[in-house]
Amino acid sequence: MLLTIMALVQTYYCTLPDERAKLYQQCVETLLLRWQRHKEAEQAEELPSVLAQLGTTQENLERLLWEIGWQAHSQQAARDEAADIPESEVMRIARNFLGGSYAKAEQFVEYTERRAHLLIGRGGQDERMFTFPHRTFQEYLAACRLASQRRFGREAAKLAAKSDSWREVLNLAAGTLVFNQKNREKAVDGINDVCPIKEPEAKDGAAWQRVWLAGEMAVVVGLNALQMDEVGQELLPRLQKLLAALLDQGRLTVQQRAEAGTALAALGDPRPGVCSKEPLMLPVITEPEQYTLREKDETITLQPFAIAKYPATNAQYRFFVEDGGYTEKWRSCWSNEGWRWKEEEKWMEPRYWQNPDYNQANQPVVGVSWYEAEAFCNWLSQTTSGSYRLPGEAEWERAAGSTDRRKYPWGDEWLADHANTDEAGLRRTSAVGMFPAGQAVCGADDVLGNVWEWVENLDSEFRTRRAVRGGSWYLDLHL
């Protein structure tokens, strides 16, 4: 039914709005009044207006629905589907909004079920039960009720700390204030209340949850809107700092942390070496060292070297793309073989560069060939004061595994929550640095999982191709 109503809204409004709160408001209005009027107009006899029958206004009728949505979500927020509401509870709420009239409450229930289809009734063991046609209607109506409260921020902060089952309600409430009510100030003030003033204690999961959900609400409001708002200007750097701390310290669940990383990407990730042009380099060894490769009986001498704390991110690679890295301007950064491949394949950016699943600013760049990685390093060397290249196989292994030739960056025992691999269940790349427990001894992040990493050498087994190390988000690395 939701898709049908979306199609109706598209017909009546020409185009679907980008903001979800605006879309859901139009869906509710269409179901409640406009769709019914359209059906009535096709009939020979005119049916009386529901507003006239109930002796109420559209605003009051919508507020009645808000209250039903609020009560439904409050009682069964953890359910994946829309909640069940006893008929007696619906009648009680309706009577409160319709002057205490039992008859009008009955009319409302009949109308919303049989004509507007905003409530779906079915027989219960003791009494009839009602539910919304889709959980999103319940969440949106609850969001409208939340947004209407005078002390919106204080209530939103309580809900954010209570459970992530209020996540969509909070985001839709922010959208309702900004896009439906044109009240950006109230939305920003509310987010300011949701966001903790200082960094929470390590074990204070409720406070860290407030950080995450405040970040998502801020994304709904928009970065530009925050930057133009007096309170938003004070809120934004605090929120960025707290979201970064959430990732760096590995707070909340893996899925929640990944969503927080997505919010931080939209708001601006302030961590050094993530969105800056130059990577944050970490010294691995400071004097020559003998190192024996883990899977080979081969000892080599490593010279002093440093490695980037994070894999190259989309934000960093964007500097290369936007500076004409794929054009004649930087032909000197490409090998002859690499340039030939680029021309034949008509590369002008990485594969998946336009895919929203992989292109947030603080995700590692993907879809990059070894030739492109080499050209990027050469470009970085020519446009900065540093000297950059891909690590050699032995250098990468030494950085990832320290001197004891351990199996994993953290030791020899597999721990599923230490890296973005198939076991983590994210099914996509994640913001860099959000698995601090899997950090290498040298301080490098994501050396295992998230994305494959190119090294300078040819593959030792298949000598015709370049080697990659570290695994990826889609691999089961519990070997």
For the segment 178-196, what is each residue's pLDDT rounded down to a tens digit? Answer: 999 999 999 999 999 999 9
Helix (H/G/I), strand (E/B), else coil: 296: coil
The single residue listed with the structure tokens 């507020």 is: 63
Note the pLDDT of residue 14.
Answer: 43
Note the pLDDT of residue 382.
Answer: 98
Query: Residue-wise over 128-162: b if at least 16 C-beta within 10 A, else e?
Result: ebbbbbbbbbbbbbbbbbbbbeeebbebbbebbbe
Task: List, for residues 345-402, the tens digit of each pLDDT value.
Answer: 999 999 999 999 999 999 999 999 999 999 999 999 999 999 999 999 999 999 998 8
Residue segments in the chain with a per-residue pLDDT below the cut of 50: 12-17, 42-47, 463
The Cα–Cα gap between 212 and 263 comes to 8
Alpha carbon of residue 453 to chain centroid: 24
Note the pLDDT of residue 136.
Answer: 87
Note the pLDDT of residue 368.
Answer: 97
Q: What is the 3-state secondary structure (H, E, C) of the chain?
A: CHHHHHHHHHHHHCCCCCCHHHHHHHHHHHHHHHHHHHHHHCCCCCCCCHHHHHCCCHHHHHHHHHHHHHHHHHHHCCCCCCCCEEHHHHHHHHHHHCCCCHHHHHHHHHHHHHHCCCCEEECCCCCCEEECCCHHHHHHHHHHHHHCCCCHHHHHHHHHHHCHHHHHHHHHHHHHHHHHCCCHHHHHHHHHHHCCCCCCCCCCHHHHHHHHHHHHHHHHHCHHHHHHCHHHHHHHHHHHHHHHHHHHCCCCCHHHHHHHHHHHHHHCCCCCCCCCCCCCEEEEECCCEEEECCCCCCEEEECCEEEECCCCEHHHHHHHHHCCCCCHHHHHHCCHHHHHHHHHHCCCCCCCCCCCCCCCCCCECCCCCHHHHHHHHHHHHHHCCCCCCCCCHHHHHHHHHCCCCCCECCECCCCHHHCCCHHHCCCCCCCCCCCHHHCCCCCCCCCCCCCCEEEEEECCCCCCCEEEECCCCCCCCCC
How many residues are listed for the chain in this entry? 479
Note the pLDDT of residue 369.
Answer: 95
243: left (phi over 0), alpha (psi -120 to 50) or beta: alpha
Token pair listed for 386: 């540093």
Other C-beta atoms lying within 10 Å of the C-beta of residue 281: 15
Amino acid, res. 121 = G
Note the pLDDT of residue 477.
Answer: 63
Note the pLDDT of residue 1.
Answer: 56
The Cα–Cα gap between 139 and 165 comes to 10
The Cα–Cα gap between 283 and 53 comes to 77
Note the pLDDT of residue 8.
Answer: 56
Q: Which 8-state DSSP code applies to residue 365?
A: P
